[in-house]
Structures are given as C-alpha cells and as structure tokens.
Amino acid sequence: MPLIIDSHQDIAWNMVAHGRDYTRPLSETRRIEVGTTIPERNGDATAGWHEYQRGQVAVIFSTLYATPAKSKELGDIHIYKDYNTAHRLYRDQIDIYRRLADSHPDKFRLISSKPELDSVIENWSQPQTDPASTHPVGLIYLMEGADGIRSPHELSEWWDLGLRMIGLAWAGTRYCGGTGEPGPLTDEGRQLIAAMADYNFILDLSHMDVAAAVESLDRYEGPVMASHANCAALMKGSESNRHIPDHVIRGLIERDGVIGVIPFNTFLKVGWVRAKGSRREEVPLDVLIAHIDHICQLAGNADHVGIGSDFDGGFGLQSIPSELDSIADLQIIGSKLIARGYTESDTANVLGGNWLRFLRRNLPS
Ligand SMILES: [Zn+2]
C-alpha cells in the first residue's frame, strides 16, 4: 500500500475549536461527540490516529488557521479582529503542535527540514513487526491566510519557529484577494512574497484570487503549490473563485508545483450544499478522480497532483464522497486510479510520491 502525504488538515484548529484529540481512534471521537453540537457545526469527524496508521497517512501539512471576524460561517471560535490577535492565535497553534509532538513522540513528529522528513519516511518504510510499534505521522506547518504575519520583518521569527509554507489568503487579506473577495496582490503582498523568496518559503496559492495567483506565479521566485484546490474547468456554473482555472494549473505545472485535490462535495458538484439538504450519495468518488485526471491531462503526466483532503476542516463525513468513511479510505483513490488504467507508480505518486519529491526539493537540508 503506498504512503499518503495529505497536503491539508486543520488539526490544531480542530483541537481548539472542537476539543478533538487526534491521538484517539476515530470511533472514539465520534462516540464522544454524539449529542454535542459538533456534528451539526462541523460534520462527523473523519480523521483519527488509528486511521492515519491504517491508511498509511505518513505526512500531513498541518495548518495554522484562524477565522477573520468578517466571515463567521465557521462559528465564533478562534476569531481575529486585528492582526495582533491573528499573530497570537497562529503562535498558539504552533505551541499546540509542539505539545502534541512532545507528549506523543510515538505518534506525531514535527518536520521542518529534509532530514526530518526523510527520518519520518524511513520509519514508515520499516515493516511493522511488533503490533504495538507504530509509525509516527509527520506534521509540517502550513499557514493558511497570512494575516498573522504583521510585517515581512517577522518572517525570520516564523522561519525559526519551523514554518515553511504560507498561503497569503483564506478570505481576502491585506496581502491579496481571496475566496469570495476577488482582488490582486496588494503592495504589501508584493513586499511579503519578495521577502518570502529570501528564505525559500513554499507559497500556497489555494484561496488566492486568480489575479493574485497569476501575478504570484510570475513574480514569486520560491516554490509554489496549491495545498487544497479543485479544477474550475470541472465546476462550470460555479460562481466561486475558490477553484483554480487551467491557466493557473498550467503555471503551477511549469513551475514544478503540485496541486492537492479536495474530496469535499461542495467543491465537486456545483450547488451541493449540506445545509440545503444535499446528500452525499450525489457525489461518487469518481468525480474527484476526474479532477485528478484533468490535472494529469494538462501536465501530460501524473507528476503534479496529490491529495489535500482538508478533512475535518469545516466539514465532515456528511460532505465527502459516498465511498469514503475516514481518512484511511483515501487509499480507495489509488484503487480507482488503477482501475482507470493508471500505473502503480503513477498511482503511488498521486497518493504521496509527488508531494514527497516536492518537499525533498524545497525543504532546507
Ligand atoms: Zn482552506
């Protein structure tokens, strides 16, 4: 079974917003949440540590995420009204990840360099001879929305904390237009990415408006990727600017980037909204496979697409394709690709190999 590298999970946000504990098996989290408001607010949980093991989820891009006060649809927890608060909330999440890894070194390890990545992967490559022995999951920080960076001078501090990946937008930020708030890079955004290039930060184009993404592809000298985004070409009729058009996908491919597709029904079927009674049976996993295939067709190979599940990130079991029950089931994507004629090696690359190569190329040694 190939290793999975999942390029997007809001683990710290789930821990603070919903009190979730990712050292538990998923069944326990679901049991504990019965009768609470969490399944209604965020959907039933889909990730847990035992499921990471079962699905061979070896590495996760784990986000630093807080919600701007202007967009409260994710509830009123972990909200920022000003940049100092955003900064503090993001810093708190780094502390959360550090405590998680410090108190459970057998379960989670932080990765901020190539040797640390290689050590996690090496461990996963060892056969699990003793049933009690485990493979620690590697976590790499990804800042989703850069409002927590108060000025480019702060980048050295964030770098020293282990941050390696930054997305400028969620909704629009002062750095650029974002989801639901179109707009280009601002002058502050241009200054920030110029400074990011000095450190070789990885720039995440997800959530950035098209104008800002196109300019960033042109301007940013460091590595670029999209941690969690689907293809606009397959979402015709959607009014959202959340999906990436082909010319941005081509730009990412030319820059040797990778795009993590999201198994989230709202981003797979136009008009699918859980709150309006849409059912998960309406979106089979094949729809996600079509997004993977679309990126492969644009690239002429299977080297630029991965999976950015975003599981538990504001949606849950009720909003993912019908064949999936948990994060472990991302392996079914592999079976679907094989059935569609993808080779075993291309399939392994989509599940994890493409992100692994991308990280090995772009993390500091
Ligand atoms: Zn997101």
Question: What pLDDT, in 10s, does the model give residues 115-169?
Answer: 999 999 999 998 777 766 789 999 999 999 999 999 999 999 999 999 999 999 9
Which pLDDT score, from 0 to 100, does residue 77 have? 78
Q: What is the pLDDT of residue 72?
A: 67
Residue 111 pLDDT: 98
- 244-264 mean pLDDT: 98
At 312, is the pLDDT very low, low, confident or very high (cuts 50, 70, 90)?
A: very high
User: How far apart are the CA of 179 and the centre of ligand 1, in A?
Assistant: 9
What is the 18 CA–ligand 1 centroid distance (Å)?
17
Distance 207 CA to ligand 1 centre (A): 7
How far away, in angstroms, is 339 Cα from ligand 1 center? Answer: 30
pLDDT of residue 127: 78
Pick from 80, 98, 154, 61: which is nearest to 362 by CA?
Answer: 61
CA 27 to ligand 1 centroid distance, Å = 25
CA of 37 from ligand 1 middle (Å) equals 22
Judged by DSSP in three states, 306 sits in strand
Gap from CA of 346 to ligand 1 centroid (Å): 26
Per-residue pLDDT band for 74 (boundaries 50, 70, 90) equals low
The pLDDT value recorded for residue 133 is: 73
Q: Is the pLDDT of residue 4 over 90?
A: yes
Query: Count of alpha carbons within 13 Å of 324, Cβ hemisphere only?
Result: 36
CA of 113 to the centre of ligand 1 (A): 24
Q: How far is CA 171 from CA 86, 167, 205, 212, in A?
A: 14, 11, 12, 13
What is the 144 CA–ligand 1 centroid distance (Å)? Answer: 7
CA 228 to ligand 1 centroid distance, Å? 7
CA of 98 to the centre of ligand 1 (A): 22
- For ligand 1, the distance from its centroid to the CA atom of residue 208, given in whole angstroms, is 10
Question: Which residues, 6+ apart, have CB-to-CB distance to 16 below 8 Å?
Answer: 77, 78, 92, 93, 96
Q: What confidence score (pLDDT) does residue 196 get? A: 98
pLDDT at 70: 86
* 275 Cβ neighbours under 8 A, 6+ residues apart: none
Percent of the chain with pLDDT over 90: 94
How far is ligand 1, taken at its centre, from the CA of residue 323, in Å? Answer: 22
Give the Å distance between the CA of 33 and the centre of ligand 1: 23
CA of 203 to the centre of ligand 1 (A): 14
Q: How far is CA 207 from CA 83, 138, 177, 178, 182, in A?
A: 19, 24, 9, 5, 10
76 pLDDT more than 80: no
CA 262 to ligand 1 center in whole angstroms: 10
pLDDT band at residue 73, thresholds of 50, 70 and 90?
Answer: low
Cα of 166 to ligand 1 centre, how many Å? Answer: 12
Average pLDDT over residues 53-78: 88
Kindly give the distance from the C-alpha atom of residue 149 to the centroid of ligand 1, in angstroms, as a whole number: 18
pLDDT of residue 363: 98
Q: Would you say 49 and 352 are in contact if contact means Cβ atoms under 8 Å apart?
A: no
pLDDT at 71 over 90: no
Query: What is the CA(30)–ligand 1 centre distance, in A?
Result: 23
Q: Quick one: average pLDDT of 332-359?
A: 98
Q: What is the mean pLDDT of residues 260-289?
A: 97
User: How many angstroms is it from 102 CA to the middle of ligand 1?
Assistant: 27
* CA of residue 107 to ligand 1 center, whole Å: 25
Q: Say how many Å lie between the CA of residue 205 and the centre of ligand 1.
A: 11
Give the pLDDT confidence of 177-219 residue by residue, as tens digits. Answer: 999 999 999 999 999 999 999 999 999 999 999 999 999 999 9
Confidence at 261, pLDDT banded by 50, 70, 90: very high
- pLDDT tens digits for 93-120? 999 999 999 999 999 999 999 999 999 9
CA 38 centroid distance within chain = 21
pTM: 0.97
Contact 56, 124 (CB under 8 A): yes
User: What is the share, in percent, of the chain residues with pLDDT greater than 70?
Assistant: 98
Distance 8 CA to ligand 1 centre (A): 8
Ligand 1 centre and the CA of 277: distance in Å? 22
Ligand 1 center–CA 105 separation, angstroms = 27
Average pLDDT, the chain: 96
How many whole angstroms from 126 Cα to the centroid of ligand 1?
33
Cα of 171 vs centre of ligand 1, distance in Å, is: 9
* HSE toward the beta carbon, residue 236, CA cutoff 13 A: 2
